[in-house]
Amino acid sequence: MTAIAPDMSTMQLLKIANDNHVGAVQLSEQDRAMLITLLKEKAQDELEYGEEIEFEKVRLVRRVTGAVSIFFEKDEPPKPAKKKASAEKTSDSTSEG
């Protein structure tokens, strides 16, 4: 089990968040909530407005408004949207007559 403590560095906390995200470690709901709270507090104290830090698939951002966000990268890239309507229009306009 991974121990989470308030005296851990931001990068150590980001590593735990990343490990939990990729499934390398399992955190309880309580530990996960504590981790997110600690990361947000650390970002408020350590990051400048508009600054961000990243560890593999986890990004901690302090916005210019002062708000803090944590982003977790998805495992697979998003699929491009299909354009059926425009494909049908081009096939109609190319018909010979």
Tokens describing residue 54: 């990243």
pLDDT at 61 over 90: yes
Cα–Cα distance list, 7 to 4, 54, 90 (Å): 9, 19, 62
pLDDT at 48: 94
Task: State the residue for tokens 């990361």.
Answer: 39
pLDDT level of residue 13 (50, 70, 90 thresholds): very high
Q: Are strands 68-72 and 52-55 parallel, antiparallel or unpaired?
A: unpaired
Tokens describing residue 17: 């968040």
Residue 87: which H helix or E strand, with range?
helix 84-93
pTM of the model: 0.72
CA distance 26 to 21: 9
pLDDT one-digit tens code per residue, 33-53: 999 999 999 999 999 999 999
pLDDT at 3: 84
